[in-house]
Amino acid sequence: MSEYSVREGHRPGTPGDRGAGARAARGDGAPGDRDAPTGAGPEGADAKSNRALILDAAVRLIGRDGVAQVKSAVVAKEAGVSVGLVHYHFATLDLLAREAFLYADAITVRTMAEAASAATSGREEIDLRLFPWLEGTEEFQQAWEIWGEFWHASRHDEEVRALLRDAWEEWVQLIAEAIDRGKLDGSIAAGVESVDTARRLATLLESLGQQLTTGLIAADDARRLLRGALEREFPVPERARKPRRSAEAAI
127 & 251 share domain: yes
Q: What is the pTM of this model?
A: 0.72
6 & 100 share domain: yes
201 & 227 share domain: yes
How far is it, in rounded angstroms, from Cα 84 to Cα 90? 10
Asked whether residue 27 is domain-assigned, the answer is yes
Contact at 8 Å (CB) between 122 and 181? yes
Q: What is the pLDDT of residues 143-176, one digit of tens each?
A: 888 888 888 877 876 777 888 899 899 999 999 9
164 & 208 share domain: yes
What is the predicted pLDDT for the residue at 4? 35
Q: What angle do CA 35, 27, 106 make, to 5 degrees?
A: 135
Q: Please determine, for residue 187, whether its predicted confidence score (pLDDT) is greater than 90.
A: yes
130 & 245 share domain: yes
- How many Cβ atoms from other residues are within 10 Å of residue 176's Cβ? 19
Residue 72, amino acid:
S
What is the predicted pLDDT for the residue at 97? 85
195 & 229 share domain: yes
Range of the domain at 149: 118-251
The CATH code of the domain that includes 251 is: 1.10.357.10
- Domain count across the chain: 2
Q: What is the pLDDT of residues 94-128, one digit of tens each?
A: 888 888 888 888 888 888 889 899 999 999 999 99
C-alpha closest to that of 36 among 53, 50, 54, 56: 50
Asked whether residue 112 is domain-assigned, the answer is no
Asked whether residue 93 is domain-assigned, the answer is yes
Q: What angle do CA 95, 2, 69 make, to 5 degrees?
A: 70
Q: What is the pLDDT of residues 2-11, one digit of tens each?
A: 333 443 333 3
- Which residue, of 104, 128, 161, is where some domain finishes? 104
97 & 124 share domain: no
Per-residue pLDDT band for 195 (boundaries 50, 70, 90) equals very high
Asked whether residue 42 is domain-assigned, the answer is yes
- Which residue, of 104, 126, 146, is where some domain finishes? 104
Which residue pairs, CB below 8 angstroms and at least 24 apart, start in 47-50? 47/89, 50/81, 50/85, 50/89
210 & 93 share domain: no
- Which region among 14-18, 47-51, 239-243 has the lowest average model confidence (pLDDT)? 14-18
Asked whether residue 110 is domain-assigned, the answer is no
Asked whether residue 72 is domain-assigned, the answer is yes
